[in-house]
């Protein structure tokens, strides 16, 4: 099998690491699932060229179609120090945490514990009386009352009026940047309290703005469940799906040796250094704090692609997954940081393609994606029954790769599914 050849350098590590995954997501020759082995190999060749040029130490790529893995490769080194990359290497996935947090929230919705239409203040009282920052003609900053309450749905689709403080301009961004609640020293609940004390960037429900909304959602989950977010995720998602190397920190010394590292000159995300997964931090950020492996995240993706079920475990109903992967924005405007991009809206935790054509990314209506700021990426295409994960650690030097790799993967398809016609 061509895919197996890609793992020869990993030796016994590959055989052990994929033993449990293969039972549920079997390997396939690319041709068996309508893909070209030669063209999938071009993806590895491109990444190997980037690695040789010093862009990042190494990478892992996983492509699955029709419920089988057509391509899985470990390239380069796990860290600049020289360990070979393996398919079970552990990566900081940053914002690929958001879909996981969203799934947990939707599980609570299905159980009647969380109401999407409820005001956020029902769960977090500090959000009861919010204001919105505005800039007057003379340049002074003023605030006005929020015209309506933030809802839980606003959190999940990033229309709460919140923001991140490390990109863009605006008075609310400046206030958040100065306060810096995401420095890792505060708990989820304490971060939410800070955010509730600051003015919003937009009136609730009026603008899609990438923000700390999913961090706040994590605090809501903790209030409902009476437990830390890490404990809730482990019980509800990681253990049921067999995601054994996913969490907010890595305590096992053997697993710590599997942590992938960037080059020393590429360890900053804005003005913040990448976190150390070996350390336990008070802030278990639902918006960006997890580490995982390509194989673990493949289990999560397989669950979404299979209507909420994986390996005999049903986390969500198919109807709820469909709702999650449906655009929730409609004609709501997008803010300064339009990550979804042209032709994409936003579901509950992921960007969702609204219609075919018009953009720079190959795909189909209903495909979904999200990525992490250190270089990780996932996308799923229900029409093609395909999902893709790649993992690398290069906050700056991975810029521009997402579109290139994604289009190369679609270029590897030799047989289009009828549902994609």
Map out the domains of the chain with their CATH numbers: 2-96+228-420 (3.40.710.10), 103-225 (3.40.710.10)
What is the C-alpha separation between 108 and 271, in angstroms, rounded? Answer: 35
Asked whether the predicted pLDDT for residue 24 surpasses 50, the reply is yes
User: 75: part of which helix (H) or strand (E)?
Assistant: strand 68-76
In degrees and rounded to multiples of 5, residue 181 shows phi and psi of: -70, -15
What is the C-alpha separation between 177 and 242, in angstroms, rounded? Answer: 37
- Considering the chain, what percentage of its residues have pLDDT values greater than 90? 80
Give me the pLDDT at residue 170, please.
Answer: 78
pTM of model > 0.85? yes
What is the C-alpha separation between 257 and 295, in angstroms, rounded? Answer: 17
Closest by alpha carbon to 266, among 393, 399, 93? 393
DSSP secondary structure, 191-245, as one string: HHHHHHHSPBSS-TTSEE---THHHHHHHHHHHHHTS-HHHHHIIIIIHHHT-TT
DSSP 8-class letter at 357: S
Closest by alpha carbon to 91, among 276, 245, 269, 291? 291
Tens digits of per-residue pLDDT, 383-410?
Answer: 999 999 999 999 999 988 999 999 999 9
Tens digits of per-residue pLDDT, 166-225?
Answer: 766 778 878 787 777 777 789 999 999 999 999 999 999 999 999 999 999 999 999 999
Mean pLDDT, rounded, of the chain: 91
């Amino acid at each position: 099998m061509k895919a197996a050849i890609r793992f020869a350098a990993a030796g016994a590590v590959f055989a052990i690491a994929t033993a449990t995954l293969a039972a549920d997501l079997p390997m396939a020759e690319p041709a068996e699932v309508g893909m070209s082995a030669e063209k999938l190999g071009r993806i590895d060749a491109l990444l190997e060229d980037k690695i040789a040029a010093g862009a990042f130490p190494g990478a892992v790529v996983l492509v699955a179609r029709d419920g089988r893995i057509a391509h899985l490769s470990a390239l380069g080194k796990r860290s600049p120090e020289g360990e070979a990359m393996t398919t079970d290497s552990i990566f900081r996935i940053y914002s690929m945490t958001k879909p996981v947090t969203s799934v947990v929230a939707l599980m609570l919705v299905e159980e009647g514990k969380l109401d999407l239409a409820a005001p956020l203040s029902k769960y977090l009282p500090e959000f009861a009386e919010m204001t919105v920052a505005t800039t007057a003609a003379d340049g002074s900053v003023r605030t006005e009352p929020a015209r309506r309450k933030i809802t839980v749905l606003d959190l999940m689709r990033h229309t709460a009026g919140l923001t991140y403080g490390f990109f863009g301009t605006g008075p609310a961004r400046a206030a958040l940047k100065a306060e810096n609640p995401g420095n890792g020293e505060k708990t989820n609940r304490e971060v939410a309290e800070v955010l509730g004390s600051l003015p919003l960037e937009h009136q609730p429900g009026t603008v899609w703005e990438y923000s700390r909304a999913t961090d706040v959602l994590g605090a809501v989950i903790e209030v409902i469940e009476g437990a830390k977010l890490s404990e809730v995720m482990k019980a509800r998602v990681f253990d049921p799906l067999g995601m054994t190397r996913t969490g907010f920190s890595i305590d096992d010394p053997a697993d710590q040796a599997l942590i992938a590292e960037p080059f020393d000159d590429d360890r900053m995300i804005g003005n913040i250094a990448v976190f150390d997964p070996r350390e336990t931090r008070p802030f278990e950020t639902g918006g960006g704090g997890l580490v995982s492996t390509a194989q673990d995240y493949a289990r999560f993706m397989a669950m979404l692609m299979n209507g909420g079920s994986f390996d005999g475990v049903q986390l969500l109903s198919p109807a709820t997954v469909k709702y999650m992967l449906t655009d929730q924005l409609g004609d709501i405007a997008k803010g300064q940081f339009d990550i979804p991009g042209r032709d994409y809206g936003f579901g509950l935790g992921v960007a969702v393609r609204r219609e075919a054509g018009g953009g720079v990314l190959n795909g189909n209506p209903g495909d979904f994606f999200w990525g992490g700021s250190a270089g990780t990426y996932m996308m799923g295409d229900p029409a093609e029954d395909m999902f893709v994960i790649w993992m690398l650690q290069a906050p700056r030097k991975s810029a521009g790769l997402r579109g290139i790799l994604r289009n190369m993967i679609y270029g590897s398809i030799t047989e289009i599914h009828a549902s994609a016609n």
